[in-house]
Chain A
């Protein structure tokens, strides 16, 4: 039985301008992400892996090519529509957690859910996820009262709260110690086992073993899959 395609990336190109120098970060990248994948994107610094992830996560717009989600090319859609997709279909985990500093752990998690649900329901959903990532006792702490690993777990819970089709994680363990990194990776593995599709960029060879697929990028192009 063929796998269900969640996202189709076709000939995506991206060039950044840094002053007078133009850096071609992606040179016509094409691949598909299937339902239930644990896809890890690897590559050296500057290979374009984070750039690729930001295009898939709709945080940035490619210069050329197509990104098709649910039969819709999301490259040309409006900001409002992109917000809607980021809210409902994509959970994004940032390398530096990107938590709201004035919100507690539970409030950070429930915030995206409040866009769709009543506050009480959003809180229930957030509580369940906070417990799932093992932060039940830290739920009322502000981000600056949490360790890096704990903040990343909050970020993962936030990414999951609206039950998105895909979770995108950009080097989620890069700022964590070994123990915290293993815990975070374990969470991703469990999520994948539960049926979540995960796309992750990493530098760590250990983490590559968790993947069901690995894409290696070099100089903005896919070297191997």
Chain B
């Protein structure tokens, strides 16, 4: 190391050891606050997007949805197709669903909602609706006159779609399903609340129940088959399904998401906008604080120049000092964020109409925000330091 290059390290060490500890803490705390400000908004939107995706996959579409071929209402020859699907290792679970064009009537209210016929055990392996029962129980394989309904169908005080629901249906209530000229009375066995509006507007009955109602209707066919795969494995699985000879339409959960996809894209745009504003606020705040700190040391910079310390070393000193401030700020901010905020919001998530959002941030975004804070701090240190090393030496010494 060139002899003089050690000067900034030597001085930083002394400044940190012997400088005003409160000032040091406040500057580092400010850096931490700026870091948290940048990370928080991004992670909140990240959490909402993650939650939305999770809700779609876990309560609605699975990772892949298989739909009938063009021109067909059903996936025919269901059993053989399910056997083929079961041979694919990438498929972790599958559930065939039949969508019934029926209406439900209870409490003199009659409406059409999406009613799905399922195999409860298959569905249990695929979606988490069985875990979202807030009243009563989930369907059993042998249930023939039982129905589970979403909270938006049951309705009640505080329910978003109460006006278009049964306005307070309870477990044990009778519901009449009318379908294809026949009708049957079901007992509400359970009410589920996934917090995903589209899912909570659904009702489920068993295969057995439908066969009893319309024996000819359910005959080795399905309206859709939903599949569970490892996330990110969707495209590979679709390739394998095609290789197995399935010629239906395949959609990933993102394809099915539709409106939600638009919503998440909007979130991304808002996130970029808010992040940009956050960066600007952080930049100005850090710049002002570092600027004031360095201007207050103008006399010391003047003395360094007077005793022959080269300007580039003085600039390096203050740049390194701000790097130290920002690194400690990022570390402190990281500790507060990951040690306090993330656990707190995991415990008390943001409750939104589409689900509970926690704070989620990926490493790429974390690195970008860390770099942003450090780069802003470097500029905030460099600009006033260069200004002071270029000003008249006497004015610097006199602290003017």
B270 interfacial contact with A, CB 8 Å: no
Interface string of A137-155 (1 = CB under 8 A from B): 0000010000000000000
Interface segment, one of A113-121, A171-179, A192-200: A113-121
Chain A residues with CB below 8 A from B10, complex form: 111, 114, 119
B343 interfacial contact with A, CB 8 Å: no
Interface segment, one of B42-50, B166-174, B303-311: B303-311
B300 interfacial contact with A, CB 8 Å: yes
**Is A107 in contact with B14, judged by CB distance below 8 angstroms?**
yes
Chain B residues with CB below 8 A from A101, complex form: 300
Which 4 pairs show the lowest CB-CB distances between chains A and B? A87-B308, A86-B308, A102-B18, A115-B4
**Is A59 in contact with B397, judged by CB distance below 8 angstroms?**
yes
* Chain B residue at minimal CB-CB distance from A107: B14
Known contacts: A114-B3, A118-B3. The answer to whether A60 contacts B394 by CB under 8 A is yes
Which of A71-129 touch B at CB < 8 Å?
79-80, 83-88, 92, 94, 98-103, 107, 111-112, 114-119
- Distance in angstroms from A105 CB to nearest chain B CB is 13
Chain A residues with CB below 8 A from B15, complex form: 102
B19 interfacial contact with A, CB 8 Å: yes
Known contacts: A87-B308, A102-B15, A102-B19. The answer to whether A119 contacts B303 by CB under 8 A is no
**Is A112 in contact with B308, judged by CB distance below 8 angstroms?**
yes
Known contacts: A103-B14, A142-B18. The answer to whether A92 contacts B6 by CB under 8 A is no
**Is A98 in contact with B303, judged by CB distance below 8 angstroms?**
yes
Task: Knowing that A102-B14, A112-B309, A115-B310 touch, tell me 19 more A-B residue pairs with CB under 8 angstroms.
Answer: A54-B394, A59-B306, A59-B393, A59-B394, A83-B310, A85-B308, A86-B307, A86-B308, A87-B307, A88-B308, A94-B306, A98-B303, A103-B18, A111-B10, A112-B308, A114-B3, A115-B4, A118-B3, A158-B307
A117 touches which of B3, B303, B307 (Cβ 8 Å)? B3
B7 interfacial contact with A, CB 8 Å: yes
* Chain A residue at minimal CB-CB distance from B14: A102
What is the bound-complex CA distance between A32 and B14, given in angstroms? Answer: 41
Count of A-B contacts judged by CB separation below 8 Å: 75
Which of B292-338 touch A at CB < 8 Å?
300, 303-311
A residues contacting the other copy or chain, number (CB 8 A): 31
Which of B362-400 touch A at CB < 8 Å?
392-394, 397
What is the bound-complex CA distance between A87 and B393, given in angstroms? Answer: 15
What is the bound-complex CA distance between A103 and B300, given in angstroms? Answer: 11
What is the bound-complex CA distance between A111 and B308, given in angstroms? Answer: 10
- Distance in angstroms from B17 CB to nearest chain A CB is 8
Chain A residues with CB below 8 A from B392, complex form: 60
Subset of 28 A-B contacts with CB under 8 Å: A59-B394, A59-B397, A60-B392, A79-B311, A80-B310, A83-B308, A83-B309, A83-B311, A86-B307, A87-B308, A92-B307, A94-B306, A98-B306, A98-B397, A100-B11, A100-B304, A102-B11, A103-B11, A103-B14, A111-B309, A114-B4, A114-B6, A114-B7, A115-B3, A115-B4, A115-B7, A117-B3, A158-B307
